[in-house]
Structure 1
Amino acid sequence: MKDADFDPRQKAILDSAWQAFAAYGFRKTSMDDIARGARMSRPAVYLCYKNKEAIFRAVVQYCYDLTAEAVQGALGAGGSVPEVLERAFIAHGQTVVALLDSPHGVELLDAGSSTAPDIVDAGEAGLRALYAAWLTREAAARRVALHGDVEEVAATIAAALKGVKMTAPDFETYKARTAQLAQILGAGLMRG
């Protein structure tokens, strides 16, 4: 979903919620914190979202939408296979993994899995589909050699990125590790 698709009030609420969740964690963030950050009254926030969980779910969806858009753009740009993968991997983690710089990053990742599992599953499936479509295009153009079913290769890429995401202590480490992963995978995918 693009920013233009949002009511400005909803966008203000989601931006405020993102900041509050990063600052205080999911459990300690209150509707007052979100309303204050959005420069709205609590009743005005409740007109848009029924509770904190609904806001959190909307933030998770918004993050996946932004991530998918960024990954698709990175995969559509030119360059060598490792360069394209590196840009896509950075885009893949930029929104969510940036939370790792928050002292509440792990709590927020856990909250996403427990509060919005359907959104997480759909978002992850959408990202896998973007990698599968890119692999299919690149194989048809004879720029990559697939080693197995395209869906399985895309799932392996997504699983590797998830592993890096879950073990990186901060966004800088995530970027360094995904750059290395892009070089390894890119070299393995390139046609000799």
Structure 2
Amino acid sequence: MNEETGDSKRQAILQAAWQVFAAYGYRKTSMDDIARAAGMSRPAVYLHFKGKEEIFRSLAQSYFDTACDAVAQALSQDDSVAQSLERAFEAQAGETIAAMLGSAHGRELLDAGETAAPDIAAEGEARLTAIYATWLQRLADQGRVDLAGDATATAATISAAYKGIKTASPDFPSFQQHLRILARSIGQGLTRAG
């Protein structure tokens, strides 16, 4: 099997697994469910992944890789602080959080990220916080914002607020609404007067 074929099969398995996790939740999803959704045999899926936990971990890693790239891109544009934050929050959520919060099993999937992939979640959150901190420091150096603390502490506060809203939101539209309010509130609070 060449590497390209292996990668495409892994991607097909991951896409199928995501659909199955969203439909049945993490706990009730079996490798048979994933194999069926991917149009493969269960042994064929095991050639690419050791089990559903490894699949879920791969999905979590993919989410954070995509979110970090998207947030960095959103913050690279020269808009107001509030507009930049709003765009970054939307980018961080992406399709994955929209699908999670739109699923009847969204809460379970969020929890599974903390139990099946706590190291990936912690590392991903740290990367996102670092991206926000770099952006805040750049704005502070330009005299565009007043930071209450240092850039890293402020970025950690922003990340914690984002995570809290994600955890508390009953659905994706509520999540989006609260993120817009958060972006505007933080933007107004940080923006240097005059």
TM-score (normalizing by structure 1): 0.93
1:121 corresponds to which residue? 122
Q: State the distance in 1 between where 2:124 and 2:58 align.
A: 12
1:35 corresponds to which residue? 35
Secondary structure at the aligned position of 2:104 is classed as: coil
Q: Percent identity?
A: 53
Q: In terms of mean alpha carbon deviation, does 159-168 or 36-45 score higher? A: 36-45
1:69 corresponds to which residue? 69
Q: In terms of mean alpha carbon deviation, does 70-79 or 121-130 score higher? A: 70-79
1:14 is displaced (CA, Å) by 0.9
- Unaligned ranges ≥5, structure 1: none
1:73 is displaced (CA, Å) by 1.2
1:111 corresponds to which residue? 112
Moved over 3 A (4+): none
Structure 1 residue 48 and structure 2 residue 54: aligned? no
Where do 1:29-178 residues align within 5 Å? 29-98=29-98, 99-178=100-179
Q: State the distance in 2 between where 1:50 and 1:104 align.
A: 23
Q: State the distance in 2 between where 1:143 and 1:151 align.
A: 17
- Unaligned ranges ≥5, structure 2: none
1:117 is displaced (CA, Å) by 0.6
Q: In terms of mean alpha carbon deviation, does 67-76 or 176-185 score higher? A: 67-76
1:25 corresponds to which residue? 25
Q: State the distance in 1 between where 2:15 and 2:76 align.
A: 28
- Does the aligned pair in 2 maintain the 1:68–1:126 contact within 8 Å? yes
Q: State the distance in 1 between where 2:138 and 2:66 align.
A: 22
- Residue type of the partner of 1:160? A
Secondary structure at the aligned position of 1:27 is classed as: coil
Secondary structure at the aligned position of 1:48 is classed as: coil
1:96 is displaced (CA, Å) by 4.2
Q: State the distance in 2 between where 1:60 and 1:95 align.
A: 13
1:14 corresponds to which residue? 14
Distance 1:124 1:95, change over 3 A: farther
Q: State the distance in 1 between where 2:27 and 2:161 align.
A: 29
- Residue type of the partner of 1:155? A
1:150-182 residue CA offsets vs partner (Å, 9 max, x unmatched): 111000000110111011111111111100110
- Residue type of the partner of 2:126? A
Across the aligned residues of Structure 1 and Structure 2, the Cα RMSD in angstroms comes to 1.4
